[in-house]
Amino acid sequence: MIKKWQIFNTNEDEVKELVNKYNINPLLATILVNRGFTQEESLDKFLKPTRNDFHDPFLMPDMKKAVDRILLAIDRKEKIIIYGDYDADGITSITVLKSFFNDIGVEVGQYIPNRLDEGYGLNNNAIKKIAEEGNQLMITVDCGISAVNEIDYANSLGLETIVTDHHEVAEELPKALAVVDAKRKDNIYPCRDLAGVGVVFKLIQALSISLNLPEEAYLKYLDIVCIGTISDIVPLKDENRVIAKLGLMLVRQTKNIGLRSLLTSSGYRKIDSTSISFGVAPRINACGRMGFADEALNLFLCKNVEMANMLTKKLDTFNVKRQDIEKRIYEEAVSIIESQNLNEKNTIIVAGENWHHGVIGIVASKITDLYFKPSILLCKEGEEAKGSGRSIPGFDLHDALMKCSDYIEKFGGHSMAIGITLKNSDIERFSEKLEEVAEDAHIEEILPEIQIDAKISISNINKEMVESLSELEPFGEGNKMPVFAFKNLKIDSIRALTEGKHLKLTLKEGNTIVNAIGFNMGNLAEDYRIGDKIDVAGTLEINSFNGVESIQINLKDIMKSVEK
């Protein structure tokens, strides 16, 4: 697949200024300049954030209303319940808020809807049950901003609601006592992109201030807040970076027994954003996907080591089951796509029987990555089909579905990811209409892009330079691991690994040789030969094998060199 390389045009004068002023590596300075960190204040906050870099929580919409109502409920000894989502962001949100209440001597309940039976967000059956149990105040976390009708229903039952959320806001806000969401149109809070658990963190910060508690009362939860923030793939900029950077320090020495057990089970030796994203988050999310989100919450609230280890084993089991189901659906979907030549279309819509609702979104993402085309996976159930879709940069899938609404029962989401329900009898006409919309948008002209931070020579790379890049961590959305272009290299050796799955090379420039690894690129071993001149794009890392450290390029793309 042809990819477009976008290489930054670096301001070399600014790079020299940073190198001289801060005595940092020129490559690190290059990336900082390219990412806009040239002012002392922004650079210090990015490289070495502190607890003083958190914004005033009372700048968030309705925060004072929320705090005042919670304090009143505590004073009146009212029955309070937290209503949260079933993913990692929701689970950590409930954990943080419930733990904070417990620490100040307030017992609260919690409710997590079952993904398979109830779906996302508030629902009237749950609200009725919550009201009948005598709860007087409901606090939503990581959900509620779109629950206009459901909160009206709660109001009719005498159940008052505080919404804390981070999702996009519709034209109408729910009629809750307070709606704490930095994406509100009247928002003045500096950071709009907090995760749901980030909003909860601001709530307990505001409560701590109002109760004259020490900073430790809310800062001690940064390990769990960090887990939810990284897991929810929000941009790791501004306050999110402060949360992630400081939070990871706490994660490495966490006192949360459940988190410690989960970290050990994940098998990662280094605790960083990668180990959270690929080791911890999938295990938490697997519980929700399989319909057992309470098990993940119980793990984080657990106070007993044996119980924590038992729950961790359950999470591992759910994750393995999720992986097996995901693999089966992926293989079935690819088989249908290839046999029906659906990959020749601009958009891919594929339907199947008995596909698990909890994982089809992940599979849709993999299908989109495989073909670089918007894809929607549908699960047929009776006369209806329910599914999830993922898009590519440059094509707004939500906007496209608006133009296909005649054939859709309901849908929601955003430009890159959607959920959808339609009748089986409308699938073909829906597919044809979406294909028309894609053609009108000239989707065939969109090429996958690789953002490259700098073009460098392997002869100039050294261990100190590569290690200096760790200053940029934690990596994630909005702060990607730096990618570099290396041009006109000679292939010194090439072979496929792991039954042809991965690609292993040694690349030569003059007298300098460097190792390179291309995960899931093993099929390219037949396209290149020893002696070929190539250009590669990839990240730099230190590889430790048998106690020997060496610099390695982790490949993102490879092509025949155009330079002679």
What pLDDT score does 373 carry?
96
pLDDT at 545 exceeding the cut of 80:
no
* Integer Cα distance of 120 and 117 in angstroms: 10
Q: Are 222 and 250 in contact (CB under 8 A)?
A: yes
57-224: CATH number: 3.90.1640.30
Tokens for 452, please give them: 């490259």
SS3 content of the chain, % helix, strand, coil (to 5): 45, 20, 35
Nearest C-alpha neighbor of 538 from the set 452, 432, 465: 452
Query: How confident is residue 37, by pLDDT bands cut at 50, 70 and 90?
Result: confident
Q: Which residue has the tokens 């601009």?
A: 346
User: Is the per-residue pLDDT at 397 higher than 60?
Assistant: yes
Tell me the per-residue pLDDT of 346-378, one tens digit each, with 9 for 90 and over: 999 999 998 998 899 999 999 999 999 999 999
**Fold exhibited by the domain 340-445:** Diaminopimelate Epimerase; Chain A, domain 1 (3.10.310)
pLDDT in tens, 238-282: 999 999 999 999 999 999 999 999 999 999 989 999 999 999 999
And the tokens for 457?
Answer: 């020579």
Per-residue pLDDT, averaged over 81-99, amounts to 96
pLDDT tens digits, 292-336: 999 999 999 999 999 999 999 999 999 999 999 999 999 999 999
Could you tell me if 299 and 318 are in contact, meaning their C-beta atoms sit under 8 angstroms apart?
Answer: no
At the topology level, CATH places domain 4-45+450-560 in OB fold (Dihydrolipoamide Acetyltransferase, E2P) (2.40.50)
pLDDT the model gives residue 201: 98
Is the link from the previous residue into 49 a cis peptide, with omega within 30 of 0?
no
Domain ranges of the chain: 4-45+450-560, 57-224, 340-445
Q: Maximum distance among all alpha carbons in the chain?
A: 79
Mean pLDDT of the chain, nearest integer: 94
Residue 480 has pLDDT above 70, yes or no: yes
Asked whether the domain spanning 57-224 has the same topology as the one spanning 4-45+450-560, the reply is no
Q: What is the pLDDT of residues 208-219, one digit of tens each?
A: 999 999 999 999
Amino acid (one-letter) located at 366: K
Calpha distance 251→262 (Å, rounded): 11
Per residue in 136-189, pLDDT tens? 999 999 999 989 999 999 999 999 999 999 988 888 999 999 999 999 999 999
Here the tokens at position 115 are 């993904």
CA atoms within 13 A on the CB side of 559: 12
The residue behind tokens 């109002």 is 210
Whether 563 shows a pLDDT value over 70: the answer reads: no
- Give 154-163's long-range contacts (Cβ < 8 A, gap of 24+): 154/122, 154/127, 154/130, 157/127, 157/128, 157/131, 158/131, 159/127, 159/130, 159/131, 159/135, 160/69, 160/136, 161/137, 162/66, 162/69, 162/70, 162/137, 162/138
* Percentage of the chain modeled with pLDDT above 90: 85
Query: Is residue 479's pLDDT more than 60?
Result: yes
Using the Cα atoms of residue 151, residue 57, residue 218 and residue 233 in order, give the sign of their dihedral: positive
Per-residue model confidence (pLDDT) at position 564: 53
Which element (helix H / strand E) includes 541?
strand 533-545
The pTM of this model reads: 0.90
